[in-house]
Amino acid sequence: MSWIKKLTGEGEGDGPKKEQLKRIKLMAVGLVVGVGLIVWGSWGDSKPSSDVAPPSVQENVAAPAQNQKPTQKTAMAVEEEHMANKLCEMLQQVEGAGNVKVTVRLDTSTETQYAVNTSTGKKTTLEKDQAGGTRTLTEDTDTGQLVLVNRSGEQIPVLSREIAPSVAGVLVVAEGAANPRVKAELFRATQVALGIEPHKVIVMPRKGGE
């Protein structure tokens, strides 16, 4: 190491002490080794980047799709769809009607009432107060029990009455409604089939090709 010799003055006739030269050599070697370790450590810490997102990120992206639930129809919506399909099948049988599309809207759905056995009675109670007087209490007792029938080993309630749904309005779109005669027949058939007032029925012609 010529630069160490120049630093210490070795070889120039100054005659430095050997002990001082040895210490400077050790310090120089230690400095070189330390720098080498730092550079090597910086290379070892670097890792190739990955294009794959962490599992936590991938799970968060997929979470919304898993949490989605199918929308359930209400009982009234199911009944509206059933009535519209039945009416559409019937109106398509009208001569000249062509393709028909029907929409039904209800105010109330079908109401069912079941048979009930009722019993009525009176309960009379005689009470005495502290002054020696008496008073009579009369209580009406009404009880009801649902009537059941056995069908195939299953207890089924007996239906006593069924109230039809209340229709709010009906829309009929038909290819043949451009013809006044066909339109009138569709209008009348819808009114009679559902038993509703004329102002609740609308019949319109359908665009060609739809």
Indicate the residue type of 155: Q
Q: How far is residue 130's CA from residue 67's CA, in Å, rounded to a whole number?
A: 70
- Residue 139 sits at φ, ψ, to 5 deg, of -125, 125
pLDDT attached to residue 177? 95
| 71-84 b/e (C-beta count within 10 Å ≥ 16 → b) | eeeeeeeebbeebb
Q: Which has the higher per-residue pLDDT, 208 or 143? A: 143
Partners of 148 in the beta sheet? 157
Percent of all residues in the chain with a pLDDT value above 90, rounded to a whole number? 34
Tokens of 22: 């040895």
pLDDT higher at 65 or 200: 200
pLDDT tens column, 61-98: 445 555 565 567 788 899 999 999 999 999 999 999 99
